[in-house]
Structure 1
C-alpha cells in the first residue's frame, strides 16, 4: 500500500491528515487546501478499491483518508502483538498438519 500511496503522491495526506484552514486564509492557502482535499479524496478512493466489501463497511463512514487508514491499522494491526498472534496461529496449523491416507504427496506438499 505504501508504494501505491507514494506513486500517487498521497502519502502525506494519509499520514498527516488534512491541514486546518482559517477564515482569514489567503487565496494561496485556500488553493493549497483545495488541492489537499482533492488528494485526500484520491487516497480514500485508492483505499476503497483495495478492500473487500466487508472491510469497506467498516471504513465507509470515515471522513478523511487518515481516518480510514487509522481504522485499518487499528483493526488489522501494524504492531508486534498482531504479528506474534498470527505467527502462533500459523505455527499451530503447521504442527497439526498431517498427511491423509487418500492424499498424494503432491497434494500434501501443496497444503504445506
Structure 2
C-alpha cells in the first residue's frame, strides 16, 4: 500500500459511472479505505459514553472518511457536486452518485437506443479525414458495446465503407 499521495491519480468522473466506479474502487482499496464506502462511519447514539480507545478509533475513522471524501470531491466537477444533497459521509456520497448516475436498466436501454440512432445516422463529413471519421465511429460503437450491444467488427467496417465520402 503506497503512502505517497503525490503520485495518486484520481479518476475523473465523466458521466460514465460504471467505468469510473471501478477505477475509484480500485484506488480506495489500494489505499485501504474501501470499507468506509461499504460500511460507512457510525456515530454512537446520543448519551453513549465512549472510552478513550473508542474515541480514538472513531476519530481515526472520521479522518479516513474525510480522506475518501477528498478523493470523491476531486473526482467530480462542481455541477455534480451540487447535485449531492447530503455530503456527511463518503458512503452517503458514493450511494448518491450510484443512484444518480449508475442507472437502472431503463436508463441503459434508453441510452442504447440513442446510441443506435447515432450509429445509424453517422456519415463521413466532406472536410473530415478518414482517421477522424473512424475515431467518431469507434467512440459510438464502443459506447454501444459497453452498454450491452452485440456489435461485430464486420458491422462497423461495413458501416464505415458504406458511409465514406467520395
Question: What band does the TM-score fall into relative to the shorter chain?
Answer: 0.7 to 0.9
The 5 A counterparts of 1:28-107 are 28-59=53-84, 61-77=86-102, 79-107=104-132
Of residues 14, 25, 29 in structure 2, which corresponds to 1:6?
Answer: 29
Distance 2:128 2:69 in 1: 46
Structure 2 segments unaligned to the other structure (5+ residues): 1-23, 138-166
What does the per-residue CA deviation read over 1:33-77, in whole Å, with 9 as the maximum and x for residues that have no partner? 111101110010000000112112223751111111111001101
Question: Retained in 2: the 8 A contact 1:21–1:33?
Answer: no
User: Do residues 110 (structure 1) and 139 (structure 2) align?
Assistant: no
Distance 2:67 2:79 in 1: 21
Secondary structure of the residue aligned to 1:103 is coil
Structure 1 segments unaligned to the other structure (5+ residues): none
Distance 1:78 1:5 in 2: 22
TM, length-normalised to structure 2? 0.59
Distance 1:111 1:48 in 2: 31
